[in-house]
Amino acid sequence: MTEELELDDDVRSAAFPILTDAHIAVLARRGVRRTVAQGEVLFKEGDRSYDFFVLLSGEAEIVERFRGEDRVIAAHGAGKFLGEMNMFTGQAVYLTARMRQAGEVLAVPPARLKDVITEDGTLGESILRAFLLRRSILLGTGAGLKIVGSRYTPDTLRLREFAVRNRLPHAWIDSEDDAAAEALLREFEVTPAETPIVIWHARNILRNPTNAEVAHAIGFGSRVEPAVLSDLVVVGAGPAGLAASVYGASEGLSTVAIESVALGGQASTSSRIENYLGFPAGLSGSELASRALIQADKFGARFPEPREALGLEERNGYYVVSLADGSEIVGRSVIIATGARYRRLAVPNLERYEGTSVYYAATEIESQVCEGSDVAVVGGGNSAGQAALFLARRARKVTILIRGDDLNKGMSRYLVDRVVRAENIDVLTHTEIRELGGGDALESATLEDTRTGERRLLPLSSVFVFVGAEANTGWLRGTLALDERGFVLAGPELKAVGSRDDGRWLDLDRDPFLLETSLPGVFAAGDARAGSVKRVASAVGEGSMAVRFVHEYLALRGVSA
């Protein structure tokens, strides 16, 4: 079975470019030419590594095999190259490439391809852009992981969110109303109590797996030996953590970055960041994270499988970060970049609908659920505006609820203008949700006008909450000095409240560096830091700045990169 990719000409030419003779010559200096026979497999689903192949002659087809059937997704001829983002991320291959017609290929090992991308900016950007676009296209083909589970089960949403936020190709098969789901459960002898399941590489079945188990199965994340001492441990891989990882590794520090859910943090849930310097057309949070990950990997930063940090302690002159799986990461210095989590609404029975009808992010997975339905977005900041515009592309109607009287007070003007112009977006001011109603799924919300006390019922299927954030620092209580809201005190903020005047600092003949916390050698960057500006650009700046202070701290201890 062949599935033609329906792409406009501009996307197709960028995702599947034909290399020039000059570019092929550059690659030829790093690779080996060899003949290939018809039917020969160049790489197959599940492979953990593969060469970068340029087709010099002949034709290759890209195939997914599932339940005994081959699905041909695309074909490539002379001058084109094979592969996608997993060549850089280390994830296992999602598809098989085999020769439809015999010919000749140029095979370039992954390590040498990275050298090419570093040395030849034009060729490197063309390959990188193609890989990013191919991953985006692949996400829409249904190839890759198969998640089978009910839309009413929080674990199903957790797995889907993990796949979407990490840009893992997958298909969701809803066991509530998809006959294919029942057939798969019978085929693999899975009981309803064991769902959701994840099917990987056709026959590998994971029964209600953790995120870390899925990551391990597909090779997502690098191996980090617990006993190995790193110069820098970065906790959190949002914009601040990714920037710290890039600058730390590029400046010679052995760097490990830990993230519990998705590279890119909360920023990865943004469908479009339009005011980030240097990207006038905007870019998605996931694209920003993907590019940063490739940079960090290029310089040698390591990203283990997703694991949650549970504690931080000083031991024998080093810092130990304890993780949820029982392992530990040891470093000479630490940068806390765990960001913030969205606040929850004070509404009765909210927990009943969280994960199935109440969301704290607006990504592709939520927009699919909202197809043709009415939804509400709670909040008046930029995140709420971006979510409303993104959801309006699929939802029948989006209603924005704000406590104040004017969107302009919390939202950037360019977003306000777009919201006002959107035909299927309404804005209700001085309005709060008091109750949620429905059965297994949300059916309505009771709204109250805070000026008059008048209440009315609004039919809707989903609520998206963007009402500010609270520090994601619960794991640091009792370890670092935090402000009354839980944000990490650092530098001048630390000195202002007298938190530096304890035994650790009295023994040191210096003040804390600008981003240094109550523990010397532990720094805070981005949204987790008290007094930070909650913007992607400022988080990136703080992450890179923190690395500079890490160097100064290590130099005081006689350690050089």
Give the domain CATH number at 118.
2.60.120.10
In this structure, are 158 and 204 located in the same domain? Answer: yes
In this structure, are 57 and 155 located in the same domain? Answer: no
pTM: 0.79
In this structure, are 328 and 378 located in the same domain? Answer: no
pLDDT at 265 > cutoff 80: no
- Domain hosting residue 499, numbered range: 229-341+470-556
Cβ-count burial 331-365 (b if 16+ within 10 Å, e if not): bbbbbbbbbbebeebebeebeebbbbbbbbbbbbb
Q: Which residue has the higher pLDDT, 506 or 375?
A: 375
Angle between the N-to-C axes of helices 285-298 and 121-139, in degrees from 0 to 180, rounded to the nearest 10: 130
In this structure, are 504 and 451 located in the same domain? Answer: no
In this structure, are 493 and 548 located in the same domain? Answer: yes
In this structure, are 19 and 128 located in the same domain? Answer: yes
Placement of tokens 């970068």 in the chain: 52
Q: Considering the domain boundaries, does residue 224 fall inside one?
A: no
What's the Cα-to-Cα distance from 492 to each of 16, 496, 537, rounded to whole Å? Answer: 51, 6, 21
pLDDT at 46: 86
Placement of tokens 């997958």 in the chain: 170
Structural domain tally of the chain? Answer: 4
CB 303 within 8 A of CB 222: yes
Q: Considering the domain boundaries, does residue 72 fall inside one?
A: yes
Q: Considering the domain boundaries, does residue 426 fall inside one?
A: yes
- Cα separation, 117 vs 124, whole angstroms: 4
pLDDT at 308 > cutoff 80: yes
pLDDT at 9 > cutoff 80: no
In this structure, are 354 and 452 located in the same domain? Answer: yes
Single residue among 120, 139, 158 that ends a domain in this structure: 139
User: Percent of the chain at pLDDT above 90?
Assistant: 50
pLDDT at 270 > cutoff 90: no
Q: Considering the domain boundaries, does residue 281 fall inside one?
A: yes
CB atoms within 10 A of CB 104: 14
In this structure, are 389 and 481 located in the same domain? Answer: no
| CATH code for the domain in which residue 364 is found | 3.50.50.60
Single residue among 106, 124, 139 that ends a domain in this structure: 139
pLDDT at 504: 66
Single residue among 421, 444, 467 that ends a domain in this structure: 467
Cβ-count burial 34-61 (b if 16+ within 10 Å, e if not): eebeeeeebbebbbeebbbbbbbebbbb
pLDDT at 493: 81
Q: Considering the domain boundaries, does residue 410 fall inside one?
A: yes
Q: Considering the domain boundaries, does residue 34 fall inside one?
A: yes
Mean predicted confidence (pLDDT) in 509-528: 92
- Cα separation, 239 vs 132, whole angstroms: 18
* Mean pLDDT over the full length of the chain: 88
In this structure, are 320 and 371 located in the same domain? Answer: no
In this structure, are 474 and 461 located in the same domain? Answer: no
